[in-house]
Every structure is written in C-alpha cells, then in structure tokens.
Amino acid sequence: MEKSEIRRKSKKVISAIIRHGILASVAFTCIFPLIWMFSSSLKTQQSILTDMSLVPAHPQFSNFVTAWTEGNFGSYFLNSVIYTAGVVLGVLLIASLAAYAFARLQFPGKTFLFYMFLSTIMIPVPGAIVAIYVLIMKLGLVNTRLGYILPQINGSLAVALFILKPFFERIPVELEDAARIDGCGRIGIWWNVLIPLAKPALAVVALFTAITVWNEFILAQLILQDQSLMPLTKGLLTFWGGRLAQDHLLMAGATITVIPIILAYIILQKHIIAGATAGAVKG
C-alpha cells in the first residue's frame, strides 16, 4: 500500500474520530441532565444531597406516586394533553392547507404573503406577549382553554409552513393530475394525495409543535389563573412553591413532565428522520 494511500486513510480515520467525539460530547451534555433528574427522582431527600451515584441503591418509586397525588399532576397532565392535542391538530390542519395553497395555487401577492408569514419567526414571544394579551382580553378569552390554545396555533404556523411548503412542492404534479382525472377536487387532492405522502414532514411539525406547547410557561402564566386550567409547567411551579425542601419530589414531578415528550419522539423517530432528510433528495 502506498504511503499516500495510508496517509489518506489515516486522515479519514482521525477525522471520523474527531467528528464522532464532538457529537458524543454534545449528546452527553444533552442527555446527562435528564439522567441526573431521573436518578434524583428515585432518591430520598437525604440521599439526594449525599449520594452522587446515578443508580440509587434503594430506588424510591413511591416518589412518583406522591408527586402525582399530592401535586394534583393528574389534572395538570390532562390539561397539557388537551392543549397539546388542540394546538397540534390546529397547526397541522391550517398549515397543511396553507402550504398546499402556496405550493400549488397561483394568486396575486403569493410570494409576498409567504415571506410575510415567515417573517413572524423573527418576532420573539416576549416581544409579542403584550399584544397577544390585549387581543385575548378584548375577545374575552382570558382564563379560558381557547384563549390559551389559539395564540399557540398562531405562533406555530410560520415554522410549520416553512417545513411543509417545500415538501409539497417536491411531490410530483402528475399524482395530482391522476387524482383530478378520478374526480378529486382540490380538497380531495390535499386529503387523499398530499397528506399521505407528507407524513414525514407532518410528523416533524407535530413533534416540534408538541414540544413547544408542552413546555410553554410564559403564556400560561399570563392567560390562566384558574388552577383547574393549569398545564403541567405551571402546575410544577405551584408544586415547587410548597415543597422547597423536597427536591426528590420535585425531580419526580419534573420527570413526569418530560416522559411524554420523550415517548413521542421515540414513536415518531422514523418519520422525523425521514422528514429531516427529505430535503437532501431531489425527486
């Protein structure tokens, strides 16, 4: 084997080691806090301050039961599920219809309107929070489920449109022509042709939206005052306020809030990878 070939393979191996080392270190910094949180949730208040091991010798699974019952997490969890499902369904419906219109229809101001929608991504949530509250207050939706859901649907549409429009544009027009010959109108084409083919992109949108809604706190703090309407994030703050010296229960409550999103990612993983890499392939 020639020296140049050996050097080339050596550089390739070293490059791969460095690349994977960086990725592994980033992955570790992201995963370790979750591991530490779950480990702490299985300890007692005394051992959480003295036992630094990640695997407790005597795991206390009763911490989850205590946090769930005493912290009223059942009600908070149900509220978060309702809010997340409502926002995700609303975003998928509106964004997919809008993306279909921008990808296939021709109308005046199409490009301007599309980039105007995308420009809202640059507006941070704190920058729009006052305007959102004034609008919700004038509509009489303060301290209501609808008043909490509608602003989040609106806030998630730009990112969803940014993901779905290019995906729809890559779907062959011939499939739509065939559906049109079979008697499908535009809504029929959207539902029977585009939606089934866009499942990977829809899964990406659904997961990103679900994570945003599930972790939302500022809007919940502003809009919702009734404890029966609180999502998990605000409920966890209420639970924390009465248990400043019970870190093990707080970690158990935090773990309860994280598990659903982790499970959602695991379930949608294949679709997410396919949707994230679809832009690298030209059809």
The structure tokens 């959102």 sit at 132
Same structural domain, 165 and 114: yes
Give the domain range for residue 14: 3-41
Residue 53 is assigned to a structural domain of this protein = no
pLDDT digits (tens, 9 = 90+) for 143-181: 999 999 999 999 899 999 999 998 898 888 888 888 888
Same structural domain, 23 and 156: no
Same structural domain, 142 and 33: no
The yes-or-no verdict on residue 255 having pLDDT over 70 is yes
What pTM was computed for the model? Answer: 0.83
Same structural domain, 190 and 273: yes
Residue 273 is assigned to a structural domain of this protein = yes
Same structural domain, 37 and 118: no
pLDDT digits (tens, 9 = 90+) for 26-57: 989 988 988 989 998 888 888 887 877 888 88
The domain total for the chain is: 2
Residue 59 is assigned to a structural domain of this protein = no
**Three-class HEC string of 222-252:** HHCCCHHHCCHHHHHHHHHHCCCCCHHHHHH
pLDDT digits (tens, 9 = 90+) for 183-228: 888 889 999 989 998 888 898 899 889 999 998 988 998 899 888 8
Same structural domain, 145 and 249: yes
Rounded Cα distance between 65 and 17, Å, is 44
DSSP code, position 192: I
Rounded Cα distance between 78 and 83, Å, is 9
Same structural domain, 99 and 205: yes
What does the block give as tokens for 142? 């303060």
Q: What is the pLDDT of residue 10?
A: 81
What's the alpha-carbon Rg for the chain, to the nearest Å?
Answer: 24
